[in-house]
Amino acid sequence: MNLKALLTLVLPLVFNPGCVSREVSRTPGSYFTPERDRESNRLDPLDVSAQISWRMIGAVEYDDFSIPLSSPDGRFLAVRAGAPPAWPAILARPDAQRLPVVPFEILRLDAAGVVSLQTIRGPWLLGRSADEIGFLVEGYRPDGARRIGRVDWGTGEVTWLIDDEFVNAFATIGVDGTLAWCRRSVNARGLDLMVRRPDGQTWTVKSQFDRSWLDPVIAPDGRTIFALRKGDGTVELAWSRLTERSRFEEGMQTIPISIRTNDRLVYSMLAPQTGIEASPPGGPPRLIFLHPDLGRMIEWSPDRDLARPFSEGAMAVSMLDTDRGIAMSKDGLFLTELTSLAGDVPTSILLSSDVAIPRRSGIKEDPILLLRPESGRYELYLAHLNDPN
């Protein structure tokens, strides 16, 4: 989904194919970050005295739908270009057709700029997750089955991790190699929730009562898994532990999220929070998702059992630490600090009126990566806050 769709439908974003600029240019900073209120130790909404430094490092075209996928350390980026995928394939529906062969650009970020490592081509969707080895893709076989592969960051070679007679979709991979995904028979509609552990064990939570699983997320602790469960106009947030088979299969707990949603809104809940951004490190295991009724990002952790909302209209977030993050809305970029008190509101300060997707860069001096849409491509910026706190 493109940025306009992400802003109107409440979420999805994209790119357009092209070349990668290696020239590093510097532009004056239009971003600001506040000092902290010394009494409360929270951000002071009235203080915009400290500037943030940022610089453009290149640009890349995309497919007008897929949000780029970062490696866990933030040093590599995978971008899908070419023709955008159709909704039946995105949602893994039975009426999905074969995907077009499109280019995938693999980029490396460093302090000097962005380098295009290579371009590969394939009839695939860009996955939702990556590890230090590579990033996930999904593609259809001639018999209608769908398989899950991992593209090596360095070589561009594809290894098919799940390749059988089922439709396999919405895969994610944990730090220890645990793979979680959703699966159905070619002619069925309901998707089961699957987990394959590093020792080869495969665990399953079946689809029941016309409710289908999608978008699993494995927390950085490797012990906690989140997923969405979609029904007829309903969606629930589910979670369980990965400590043992019975705990996962019999201990799944669900929380109602909405009773008036649809397939595209459910898809949008986690579309902007791919990879490590869906369950960032720091603090207890947590999930950050777009609430389809509230129209803003929410952080929720089973350890706290507290839903912490971001600023009104926030549609994509990259956390800086346990409580602070950079959030994007239709009005621009904000520095947001979440509260730990039930019913309290977050503190937010406008950093820039420019709209861009925030991500981690993996660059110590400039830890923030900004993906700014401009004329059918993304401009890539590295940035850092000039805030000693």
Whole-Å CA distances, 309 to 229, 297, 320: 21, 6, 16
* 4 vs 322: which has the higher pLDDT: 322
* 10 vs 109: which has the higher pLDDT: 109
Over pLDDT 70: what percentage of the chain? 85
Separation CA 359–CA 174 (nearest Å): 19
pLDDT over 60 (residue 5): no
Q: Give residue-wise pLDDT tens across range 54-64.
A: 899 999 999 98
Select from 113, 38, 108 the least CA-distant residue to 382. Answer: 113
pLDDT over 50 (residue 34): no
Select from 65, 10, 53, 34 the least CA-distant residue to 373. Answer: 65
The answer to whether 191 and 215 are in contact (CB under 8 A) is no
Select from 135, 132, 134, 116 the least CA-distant residue to 66. Answer: 135
Per the rule left: phi > 0, alpha: psi between -120 and 50, beta: everything else, 234 is beta
pLDDT at position 79 is 96
Band (353; pLDDT cuts 50, 70, 90):
confident
Q: Give residue-wise pLDDT tens across range 267-318.
A: 999 999 999 999 999 889 999 999 999 999 999 999 988 899 998 999 999 9
Separation CA 193–CA 276 (nearest Å): 20
Range with the poorest average pLDDT among 7-16, 33-42, 165-174, 176-185: 7-16
**Which DSSP string corresponds to 23-74?**
--EE----EEEPPEETTTTEE-TT---EEEEEEEEEEEE--SSPPPEE-TTS
Q: What is the mean pLDDT of residues 158-172?
A: 97
Calculated CA dihedral for residues 355, 356, 358, 360, nearest 10 degrees: -150
pLDDT at position 48 is 47
Domains by residue range for the chain, with CATH: 34-51+65-352 (2.120.10)
pLDDT at position 186 is 95
Strand-strand pairing, 224-230 and 212-218: antiparallel
Which strand (E) or helix (H) includes residue 198? none
Band (2; pLDDT cuts 50, 70, 90):
low
The answer to whether 369 and 358 are in contact (CB under 8 A) is yes
* 16 vs 286: which has the higher pLDDT: 286
* 189 vs 25: which has the higher pLDDT: 189
| Average of per-residue pLDDT values in the chain | 86
Adjacent-strand bridge partners of 179: 173, 196
Q: Contacts by 328-332 with C-beta closer than 8 Å and gap 24+? A: 328/355, 328/356, 328/357, 328/358, 329/355, 330/7, 330/355, 331/355
SS3 content of the chain, % helix, strand, coil (to 5): 5, 45, 45
pLDDT at position 279 is 97
Separation CA 269–CA 11 (nearest Å): 8
The answer to whether 89 and 99 are in contact (CB under 8 A) is yes
* Exposure string over 176-207, b if 16+ CB within 10 A, otherwise e: eebbbbbbbeeeeebbbbbbbbeeeeebebeb
pLDDT at position 345 is 81
pLDDT over 90 (residue 370): yes
pLDDT over 70 (residue 43): no
pLDDT at position 16 is 28
pLDDT at position 42 is 59
pLDDT at position 194 is 98
* 71 vs 19: which has the higher pLDDT: 71
Band (352; pLDDT cuts 50, 70, 90):
confident
The answer to whether 104 and 126 are in contact (CB under 8 A) is yes
Q: Give residue-wise pLDDT tens across range 210-261.
A: 899 999 999 999 999 999 999 999 999 999 999 999 999 999 999 999 999 9
* 2 vs 273: which has the higher pLDDT: 273
Cβ contacts of 219 within 8 Å, gap of 6 or more: 225, 226, 279, 285, 286, 287
Q: Give residue-wise pLDDT tens across range 75-111.
A: 999 999 999 999 999 999 999 988 999 999 999 999 8
pLDDT over 50 (residue 17): no
